[in-house]
Amino acid sequence: MTRFTVLGAGGYLGQALTVRLENAGHCVHAITRAALPALLETRRPVGHVIDCIGLTGDFRTRPLDTAQAHVGITAQCLAALRCDSFLFVSSSRVYARAASTREDAMLACAPSDSSDLYNLTKLAGEALCLSDPHPTRRVVRLSNVYGPGLGEDTFLGQLLAEGQVTGSVRFRQSENSAKDYVSLEQVLRILPLIALHGSARLYNVAAGRNTTHAAIAAALHDSLGWDTTFEPGAPTVCFPPIETARLDAEFGAALSDLSADLRTIAPPVAEVPCSPSTRLPTG
């Protein structure tokens, strides 16, 4: 029986990962952010650690909490935890200004841009892990995850919540906007494999191809019957396609088809409509 410790077990990914590992027969210590100080004090062996702690949609309004989650907690864990391996979950968002999405690409950030706060703190957390000489300190740059029960702190989660309430969705980004989406099922398959067997120290975990907002709108209309519209003059936000050759060669491709899967992850339309959410992020 393999021992895992999941940090951030109260979040979307952490909860799902804990359940998957337990169902696979592993011993899992599920740690929420509130329980982390007690774990750090124990100094007991914790097995293979997967760090899912992080902020997403509200990072712009909580800069200090973002830095603490991605950098401060990571430093504390690397210093105090007696672990067999440590896997830091970063984000493919760090490639937003990059010329290449290979894991060894040079990355650019603008400290004066509040949108880059997330990228900078994630990269600092990565640097802490990768500067550790122990080869089992690893990083995954995770793409946009989708699956059942997706929270409203993501672009897709807010779309689905709006459609569930009203039966219609209005996009605040243009139909040509696009980014990579990877299924939760694939992420849950891949993360433990990297934690246990990864030969490299940094992996992109992504579908490897972008899905446009136009394709999402068509799938929501065709599969669920929702009305979909685009705000006139909405900006086009395109993220670069993520390179996945390293992941594909070692663990198999993270095959994901968001358009085909939307029917299975979208909740049924509520009977009583109310005002739709207008809080759609641009990132």
Digit-coded pLDDT (tens) for 269-278: 544 333 333 3
Mean pLDDT value of segment 138-167? 93
Residue 192 lies in a domain: no
- Number of structural domains in the chain: 1
Mean pLDDT value of segment 116-132? 97
Residue 268 lies in a domain: no
Radius of gyration for the chain, computed over Cα atoms and rounded to the nearest angstrom: 19
Domain, as residue range, for 74? 3-142
Share of the chain above pLDDT 70, in %: 94
Residue 150 lies in a domain: no
Residue 102 lies in a domain: yes
Residue 156 lies in a domain: no
| b/e per residue 96-117 (b: at least 16 CB within 10 A) | beeeebebeeebebeeeeeebb
- The pLDDT, as a whole number, for residue 55 is 83
Residue 130 lies in a domain: yes
Band of pLDDT at residue 268, cut at 50, 70 and 90: low
Band of pLDDT at residue 49, cut at 50, 70 and 90: very high
Digit-coded pLDDT (tens) for 192-201: 999 999 999 9
Residue 134 lies in a domain: yes
Residue 116 lies in a domain: yes
**Low-confidence winner among 49-63, 122-136, 189-203, 252-266 (lowest mean pLDDT):** 49-63
Calpha distance 43→258 (Å, rounded): 42
Residue 14 belongs to domain with CATH number: 3.40.50.720
